[in-house]
Amino acid sequence: MTILVTGGAGFIGGNFVLDWLAGTDEAVVNVDKLTYAGNLDTLQGLQGDTRHVFVRADIGDRDVIGRLLAEHKPRAVINFAAESHVDRSIHGPGDFIQTNVVGTFNLLESVRAYWNELPADDKATFRFLHVSTDEVYGTLEANDPPFSETNTYEPNSPYSASKAASDHLVRAWHHTYGLPVLTTNCSNNYGPYHFPEKLIPLVILNALNGKPLPIYGDGQQIRDWLYVKDHCSAIRRVLEAGKVGETYNVGGWNEKANLDVVKTICSLLDQLQPRTDGQGYAEQITYVTDRPGHDRRYAIDATKLARELGWKPAETFESGIRKTVEWYLANQDWVKNVTSGAYREWVSTQYGA
């Protein structure tokens, strides 16, 4: 048996591949375009493992995807491949439309052609699992209930709009063509192997390098934080037992303001690797101009996933963030390899020199 994973050298996809192969002998065909956030160093521990087949390719390349499907005959496709950073989508929305919308369309068409030719038994058990985001639902007021699977889509950034479009395509391919799909919408992930453009790894990296810790606006934007390995376990559970055509929200039940997250990281670093000058890392916090259209609050209601499939996160935010900080302290070589000159140039453009 084999599964095909797209975007499996990225943050969530890479963690999923590592966890999958640590827990099963089922092979993985791993397709990743290796854009800036795709990193083979994440998969270094799989070198020589015959269960892992890596192919550098674009999900929109129907010839390559079609050949891989025909050759490896996977029982499932899990689609992590996406451009996923809101700030980058504001500066360059075209890449997000191309990958998240056009790429998903082409992938769906490749998978549909493969699925249509499967024997009846294999066709019945095949699954296409599409990994998406809570940002498609828009923003919440302070007293609003968390997002459920029935919330209206109200995306507010080019990124979330492109992911909303991909979700709609997946739904349509199920209802129109019968493709057996599953969709998950997750809250903000954090953990090992996270490319340091997102809040938590950026703050850890900047803190250790004596740089400002940039906080958008007043820092009171609230997110529901989900440890990446909990997210991976949820995806495995949905793939195993999810009802075809259904959407499952995946959350960590951990609503935190951005400023509180940064202060927690600073406190952990004060314990684990104190500054040489005796000052606290919180001294480096710097407020920067808020980004356009910044959603104020996200929160996920993961009740459906708990009730129907028995899943719940294993980590609290306190346990997960400590594991995350400890991982970055222990894996500085990985960080150095991904923070190239192009990365530093982008950070300078985004947050100011």
* Active-site entry in 87, 114, 137, 159: 159
Task: State the pLDDT at residue 346.
Answer: 47
- 287 within 8 A of 217, measured Cβ to Cβ: yes
CA distances 306 to 60, 225, 237, Å, are 34, 17, 10
Q: Could you tell me which residue, 29 or 349, shows the higher pLDDT?
A: 29
Q: Is position 287 annotated as part of the catalytic site?
A: no
* Type of residue found at 32: D
Please state the pTM of the whole predicted model: 0.93
CA distances 35 to 14, 342, 343, Å, are 14, 12, 12
pLDDT of 235 strictly over 60: yes
Sketch out the chain's domains with CATH numbers.
2-190+226-254+296-316 (3.40.50.720)
Q: Is position 134 annotated as part of the catalytic site?
A: yes
Q: Could you tell me which residue, 235 or 353, shows the higher pLDDT?
A: 235
Sheet order of strands, 222-227 included: 188-190, 222-227, 255-257
Chain segment 103-144, per-residue pLDDT in tens: 999 999 999 999 999 999 999 999 999 999 999 999 999 899
Q: How far apart are CA 302 and CA 238, in angstroms?
A: 12
Q: What would the two tokens of residue 240 be?
A: 């195993």
* Active-site entry in 134, 167, 197, 230: 134
* Active-site entry in 32, 87, 135, 295: 135
pLDDT of 353 strictly over 70: no
- Mean pLDDT (whole number) for 163-186: 98
Q: How far apart are CA 250 and CA 127, in angstroms?
A: 18
Task: State the pLDDT at residue 349.
Answer: 61
Task: State the pLDDT at residue 79.
Answer: 98
CA distances 307 to 61, 158, 249, 304, Å, are 38, 33, 12, 5
Q: Is position 26 annotated as part of the catalytic site?
A: no
Chain segment 246-303, per-residue pLDDT in tens: 999 999 999 999 999 999 999 999 999 999 999 999 999 999 988 787 889 999 999 9
Inter-axis angle of helices 199-208 and 258-272, nearest 10? 40
Chain segment 204-229, per-residue pLDDT in tens: 999 999 999 999 999 999 999 999 99
